[in-house]
């Protein structure tokens, strides 16, 4: 075989290929013919996902072959193909743009789109803030929050204590009734519902004002009979809410809430070092009478366990838990029972007794000057061997903290002391049991021992029902001195009330 000129053969093959391509293109419609040879080359093909990192794609086809392959692939146009504007009509230009947008959406990175959307939603920061470090940015954000809070508090400071000067005029009077502000609770003690929150200093001052109002109402309840207390509560119902609002604030400072302690005893919840029990905790569906129930906190704790609780106080509550009565009046509690002064029966005792209450509770509620009459009404509704639970502020028992005088007086009303818990620093807890003593009436001198006699001696000297009634009235009068009113620091609290109102009213926002 002779020598073959490879270069000449390669040139011939190239000519045959070009002529074949020209022949094929000549048979295509005019608008689908390939572009001139001097047309710009196609854009690089997108790197395949199957290639390794750093791999590069290289096309082995010429530019003309690539155009031909693109035209023959079922008429689909690639977004990277370029066509001269003068060879494409307006309609085809619109179709190409739509196909390009669809392909771009198909190949778009979803994470990049989400990141762009997140950045667009973020507030635009000043350039100097954007250049800050993380620690500097944190300080800057804190400063912005403080400025916003200070601006809101400054605009609301005057409105929050707008009615306070009117309250000062009434609180400055020396009499107990005039010591209470007459302003409505929503204007004098509570901020407006749509106002901005108060600053920490303003909140502290308003809490002090609530405490002063609570002490004023407290003094009025302690130094008046129950009839008078119910009368002014009916005339000014907002005082009931203000009192219990301040009461909650005071009890939060105590190590133990007496309501929680009584509820634990009645539910037989054993706690560490708790040796005091109640018999009612073992009675299914026991009937508990809560006198001076406030907001019915005890009933709400006991009702889920199946106990039946009736709550009474000076006013009805809107939620229906509490009924308003004067518990010092005979037959004030709508329950069966027979009134027997001093727990003495003159003649046969009905069997069974009509009373049905298992427990009567007075939790910090022996407040009127006639509180002895409240205990007499409790004795009436209690069944025989029923339990009386009393929680009382320790300071009311005197400077020595002795419970002897109080226990002696309650015992003279027909109760027996089971135990007294004096371990708490704020209140003392007592549990008594109802007793009935049957005596034969004796005729003779109706005179009683002098009023200075101790309650047991006074009770022992009673010989008939008339004397028993007179002796109980003596104990009612003596009760005001046995449990002392809790009105410590009255003038000091009035001074604080007047000066804090003035200070809060003139409070101005502090610079940051």
Structure tokens at 369: 């000057």
Distance in angstroms (rounded) separating the CA atoms of residues 435 and 412: 10
Torsion angle, alpha carbons of 294, 298, 299, 305, to 10: 170
Structure tokens at 500: 């804090």
Q: How far is CA 158 from CA 153, 154, 361, in A?
A: 9, 8, 44
State yes or no: pLDDT of 211 exceeds 50: yes
- Confidence at residue 57, expressed as pLDDT on a 0 to 100 scale: 46
**∠416-418-420 over CA atoms, to 5°?**
115
Distance in angstroms (rounded) separating the CA atoms of residues 355 and 392: 25
* Closest to 208 in 3D by CA, of 506, 498, 508, 497: 497
Distance in angstroms (rounded) separating the CA atoms of residues 175 and 223: 11
Q: What does residue 320 show for φ and ψ, rounded to 5 degrees?
A: 85, 0
Kindly report, residue by residue over 342-368, the tens digit of the pLDDT: 999 998 888 888 999 999 999 999 999
Report which listed range, 104-108, 194-198, 421-425, is most confident. Answer: 421-425
- Coil, strand or helix at 473: helix
Taking phi over 0 as left and psi of -120 to 50 as alpha, with beta for the rest, 401 belongs to: left
- Domain-by-domain residue ranges, the chain? 160-251+492-505, 258-486
Cite the beta strand spans of 464-507 per DSSP E. Answer: none
Residue 477 pLDDT class (50, 70, 90 cuts): very high
Kindly report, residue by residue over 436-448, the tens digit of the pLDDT: 999 988 876 666 7
- Confidence at residue 404, expressed as pLDDT on a 0 to 100 scale: 94
* Sign of the Cα pseudo-torsion (292, 297, 302, 306, in order): positive
Q: What is the DSSP string of 84-129?
A: -GGGS-HHHHHHHHHHHHHHHHHT--HHHHHHHHHHHHSPPPPHHH
Residue 136 pLDDT class (50, 70, 90 cuts): confident
Identify the CATH homologous superfamily for domain 258-486: Vaccinia Virus protein VP39 (3.40.50.150)
Q: Could you tell me which residue, 96 or 178, shows the higher pLDDT?
A: 96
Kindly report, residue by residue over 253-275, the tens digit of the pLDDT: 888 899 999 999 999 886 655 66
- Coil, strand or helix at 361: strand
Q: Could you tell me which residue, 470 or 174, shows the higher pLDDT?
A: 470
- Confidence at residue 230, expressed as pLDDT on a 0 to 100 scale: 94
- Confidence at residue 188, expressed as pLDDT on a 0 to 100 scale: 41
Pairing of strands 322-324, 308-313: parallel
- Confidence at residue 186, expressed as pLDDT on a 0 to 100 scale: 41
- Confidence at residue 82, expressed as pLDDT on a 0 to 100 scale: 46
Kindly report, residue by residue over 274-303, the tens digit of the pLDDT: 668 899 999 999 999 999 999 999 999 999
């Amino acid at each position: 075989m002779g020598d073959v000129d490879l270069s000449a053969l390669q040139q011939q093959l190239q000519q045959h290929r070009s002529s074949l391509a020209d022949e094929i293109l000549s048979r295509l419609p005019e608008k689908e013919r390939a572009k001139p040879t001097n047309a710009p080359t196609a854009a690089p093909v997108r790197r395949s996902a199957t290639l390794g990192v750093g791999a590069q794609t290289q096309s082995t086809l010429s530019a003309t072959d690539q155009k031909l392959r693109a035209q023959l692939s079922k008429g689909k146009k690639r977004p990277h193909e370029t066509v001269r504007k003068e060879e494409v009509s307006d309609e085809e230009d619109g179709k190409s743009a739509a196909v390009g947008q669809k392909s771009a959406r198909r190949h778009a990175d979803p994470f990049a789109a989400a990141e762009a959307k997140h950045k667009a939603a973020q507030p635009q920061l000043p350039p100097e803030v954007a250049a800050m470090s993380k620690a500097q940015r944190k300080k800057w954000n804190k400063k912005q929050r403080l400025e916003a809070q200070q601006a809101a508090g400054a605009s609301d400071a005057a409105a929050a204590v707008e009615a306070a000067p009117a309250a000062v005029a009434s609180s400055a009077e020396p009499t107990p009734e005039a010591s209470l502000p007459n302003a409505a609770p929503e204007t004098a003690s509570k901020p407006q519902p749509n106002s901005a929150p108060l600053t920490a200093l303003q909140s502290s001052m308003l809490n002090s004002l609530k405490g002063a109002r609570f002490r004023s109402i407290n003094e009025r309840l302690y130094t008046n009979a129950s009839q008078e207390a119910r009368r002014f509560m009916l005339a000014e119902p907002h005082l009931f809410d203000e009192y219990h609002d301040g009461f909650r604030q005071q009890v939060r400072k105590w190590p133990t809430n007496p309501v929680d302690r009584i509820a634990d005893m009645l539910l037989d919840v054993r706690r560490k070092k708790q040796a005091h029990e109640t018999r009612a905790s073992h009675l299914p569906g026991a009937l508990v009478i809560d006198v001076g129930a406030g907001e019915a906190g005890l009933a709400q704790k006991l009702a889920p366990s199946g106990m039946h609780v009736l709550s009474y106080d000076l006013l009805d509550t809107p939620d229906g838990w509490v009924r308003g009565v004067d518990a010092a009046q005979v037959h004030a509690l709508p329950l069966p029972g027979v009134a027997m002064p001093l727990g003495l029966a003159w003649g046969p005792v009905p069997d069974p007794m009509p009373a049905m209450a298992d427990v009567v509770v007075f939790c910090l509620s022996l407040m009127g000057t006639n509180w002895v009459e409240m205990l007499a009404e409790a004795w009436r509704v209690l069944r025989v061997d029923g339990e009386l639970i009393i929680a009382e502020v320790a300071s009311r028992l005197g400077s020595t903290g002795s419970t002897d005088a109080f226990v002696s007086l309650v015992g003279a009303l027909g109760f027996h002391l089971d135990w007294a818990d004096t371990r708490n620093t704020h209140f003392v807890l007592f549990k008594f049991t109802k007793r009935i003593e049957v005596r034969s009436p004796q005729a003779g001198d109706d005179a009683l021992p002098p009023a200075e006699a101790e309650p047991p001696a006074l009770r022992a000297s009673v010989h008939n029902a008339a004397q028993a009634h007179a002796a109980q009235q003596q104990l009612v009068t003596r009760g005001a001195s046995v449990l002392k009113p809790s009105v410590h620091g009255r003038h000091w609290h009035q001074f604080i009330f007047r000066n804090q109102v003035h200070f809060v009213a003139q409070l101005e926002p502090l610079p940051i």
